[in-house]
Structure formats: C-alpha cells, structure tokens
Amino acid sequence: MLSPTQTNYVDEALPAAPAGGGSPAAEELPRRNGWLRSAVATLPVPSKLLRIGYSFADLALAVGGMFLANVALARTQSKEEYGVFALSYSVFTFLAGLHNAAILETYTVYGSGRYHARFTDYVRLLWRSNALLGLALTGAISIVWGALAWCKPALASPAILGLALSCGVLLTATFVRRTFYIRRRPDLAARFSLVFFAACALLLWVAIRVRVLSGFSVFAIAALAWIVAGLGLRKKFALGRPAQSFLDSEPGYWREHWKYSKWVFASTFVYQFTAQAYYWILAGFLSVREVGELRAMYLLVAPVDQVIIAVGFLVVPALAARHASGRMEDFFALLKRSAMGVLVMTALFAVVVRIAGSAALHFLYRGKFDDLAPLLYVLACLPLVMAIGNALGYGLNAAEKPKLVFGGFLSSGAATLALGIPLVIHFGLQGAVYGMLPSAGVYTAVQVLGFFLAVYRKAIPVGVS
C-alpha cells in the first residue's frame, strides 16, 4: 500500500501498487486501466477544457521567459552577437533532445502506461537518473569550454559557459513539468511556469537596467528563475518512502527502457539535420549574422510550436494509456481529434502571421529585422506542413513505435542535406527558409506511411475502421 505522502504525490487517480510489486499481467491491463476512464474518458467537458487551458498556459509561460530573453538580446546586441547566442542555444536544444531521449519520452509513455500502478517507485528511479544526466552534461560542457578557452580563446563564448552552468537546472525543470503532466496535474505545471516567468521577467529587467545582459547572463537568469519556481512548489515533489526499490522488482527495466529510448536518441541526432541544422549551415557557409536573422524570425513562429508541444503533453499520456489497455477505438478517436486540432491551429497561425507578421517584427525588434517580413511569411507555413506528421508522431510514440518517428526524422535529414546545403550556398538565408519546407514535407509523408502500416492497418482486424 502507498503511504499518505505517496498517495498525495501520485494523485487520487492512480491505484495502489499490487501486493507483489510486479507489473500487471497483460490480461489484467484492461481491468487495471479502468481508472483511465474516470480520469480521462469520462472527465467532464469543462474539466477537460480547463486542463487544456492549464497546459497552454504552462507552455506559454515556460517558453515566454526565454522568448523575452531572446527579444531583449536581439534588440540590444548586434546581429553577429545575437547569432553567436543563437548557436549556443542551438546546442542547448540538442542537449534537451538528448535529455528527452534518455529520460522524458520513455518516462512519459511507460509512466502513463505499463508502470502507472507503481508510479511513485518508478519516478524515484527517474529522478535519480535525471540528476546524474544533468551533472554529466554540466561537466562535459564545462570541459569543452575550458579546452576552448585554453586552445582557441576566440571560440570560448561566455554563452557556452552559461549553458554549462545552467543546463542541469533547465533540464530538471522540464522533467518536473513532465511529471505533473503524467500525474494529470497540468495546473501544477502552470503554477510552476508562472513563478518562473515572473522571476525571469524581473531578473531580465534588472539585467537590462544595470547593463549586464548577455548570452551568459540569460542562461544564468533562466536557471535562477526555475530554482525560485521549484522552491515555491517544493512540497509537491515529496516522494515518500517506497516499500521496495523499483529495480528490485523490475531488474530488467533499463533493458526495456533502452529498447524504446534508442530510437528517440537516433531521432534526436537526426533532428539536427532538419530545422536545427540550418543554423549551422548558415554559420558555416555564410556568417553568424544570418544565424541571428533566422533565429529572430523563428522566434515569431515558435509560439505555435509550443502549442503543438502542449497538445502532445496532454495527448501522449492519454494515448499511451489507451494503447496499453487495448482500447484502440478510443485511441484512434483521440488521435483523430488531436490531428485535426493541430492542423486547424497551424493553418490559422499562418494566416495571422501573413496579416500581422510585419508589424510584429517591427514592434519586437525596433525595426532592426523589418526586411525579413517576406521570409517570415514563408517560415510560418513550416508548422502547417509538419502538423499531421507531428500528430501521428504522438500516436507512434504512444504505441511504442519510436523507430518509425526516427525514420521520419532520418528522411527529413536526408532531404536537408540534399536540398538545404545547395539552397543556402546559392540563395543564402532565403535558401535556408525555403529548404525547411521540403524537409518538413518529407517528415510528414514518412510519418503517415509508418503510422498506416504499423498501427492503423494492424488494428483493422480487431474492429477499427
């Protein structure tokens, strides 16, 4: 039985662990997943909408802090200086992908599905793993920065040092927020992000007033703001005392974890050959000035990406639970609604950018990037091209088919190499923006094919049409 502290942490929706401590047998999954019907399927519509609202608020606030920091840097630094920061932030994006592959993706699917009945024991194991990974990344980046400072001082950007010192905190904040979603508590995630946003905005204002805003200080401010937010919710992190170590009852867990996460790892590396790769292609073939310009444009496209991520935070755990319990009709119904929602949102966003994008560029950057408006209109179509592919990616991950998501990224990366580099060489920044669209289209096409062959077609014999 769970202790009172454990019960508070896991949430009332989760049942107590079985007496033997083992995973439920396959034939018991439908019965043991009955809690999902009360937690998700039969949730009153107002409560569902409230959770969606909390999720969107969480993403808006979590990303909003770094959005403010990026805008402040772009307005106060030269295009070259901002380009250097954009490359450093691209490194962080890559590290966040590694963290997602090593911890979060498997944690979300397994924590919502096969290990939901033992979530308290499971989350303790993942907490420790998250901490170790954060320390390892901090040490590795610090060593790289020290080596650059010793051998090539011109390449030892202070922003890289800031990234080294803050990355563990930034990744842990992501882990905490994901835990709240697995617990079906997006309200706690929103509270966590609200405190972060307020602290980050205040610290940025102070940094601007005392003229210490830089790539280094931006990373330091973000880390400090998340620490302040964590202190405010520290009581919500209590884990209690487990009756048995998770690995004692699941000695083969890391082997199962790796079966899933290895494909997410592969996808993370390949993802660098899609959107992220263009920053480095521009830096290699042109200059960091163009990197800063691409980053400035993408900041205006990022909000709709965060909406899609917010939808995924809510949908993937629910899809994983439905798939684990064999409720495939509900699985496909939820996935269909999610795909249509993502498609409509991205289409509306592209229209809004076409109408107001030029004014937004001028307002945010004080006229520094006004000449980029035509390219911004094209870039705003990127989320629309990827909409169906991203939605089907939810379903593939929830169905424990991450290798097919990897196939989509691999194909997209190949398109980037084949088309992106020649386009950048011949057309510069314009070539990078136009090159992203076919790369995204290839990704979506492969996701559609993989989902149809590996998930949808196999479900037809059991009554799904």
SS3 content of the chain, % helix, strand, coil (to 5): 85, 0, 15
10 Å CB burial of residue 187 (0-12, 13-18, 19+) is middle
Which of the listed ranges 2-11, 107-116, 186-195, 253-262 does the model predict with the highest average pLDDT?
186-195
Q: What is the mean pLDDT of residues 214-239?
A: 85
What is the C-alpha to C-alpha distance for residues 459 and 465, in angstroms, rounded to an integer?
Answer: 8
Which pLDDT score is estimated for 240? 58
What is the C-alpha to C-alpha distance for residues 38 and 43, in angstroms, rounded to an integer?
Answer: 6
Q: How many CB atoms lie within 10 A of CB 368?
A: 18
CB-based contacts of 460, cutoff 8 Å, min separation 6: none
- Report which DSSP code applies to 455: I
Q: Which residue has the higher pLDDT, 12 or 31?
A: 31
Identify the CA nearest to 266 among candidates 97, 419, 48. 97
pLDDT band at 238 (very low <50, low <70, confident <90, very high): low
CB-based contacts of 426, cutoff 8 Å, min separation 6: none
Q: What is the mean pLDDT of residues 131-159?
A: 86
Which pLDDT score is estimated for 272? 60
Residue ranges of alpha helices (H) inside 152-185 are 158-182
Q: What is the mean pLDDT of residues 96-117?
A: 79
Q: How is the chain split into domains, by residue range? A: 40-262, 272-460
Which pLDDT score is estimated for 464? 44
Q: What is the mean pLDDT of residues 240-251?
A: 68
Percent of the chain with pLDDT over 90: 15
Between CA 105 and CA 117, with CA 101 as vertex, the angle to 5 degrees is 30
Q: What is the mean pLDDT of residues 357-386?
A: 90
Which pLDDT score is estimated for 220? 93
Which pLDDT score is estimated for 196? 94
Lowest average pLDDT, out of 101-105, 330-334, 432-436, 457-461, goes to 457-461
Place of tokens 């169905």: 399
Which of the listed ranges 16-20, 180-184, 311-315, 431-435 does the model predict with the highest average pLDDT?
431-435
Q: Evaluate if residue 3 carries a pLDDT over 90.
A: no
What is the C-alpha to C-alpha distance for residues 191 and 194, in angstroms, rounded to an integer?
Answer: 5
Q: Using alpha carbons, list the distances in angstroms from residue 250 to 24, 103, 114, 413.
A: 12, 17, 12, 37
Average pLDDT, the chain: 79
How many residues are present in the chain? 465
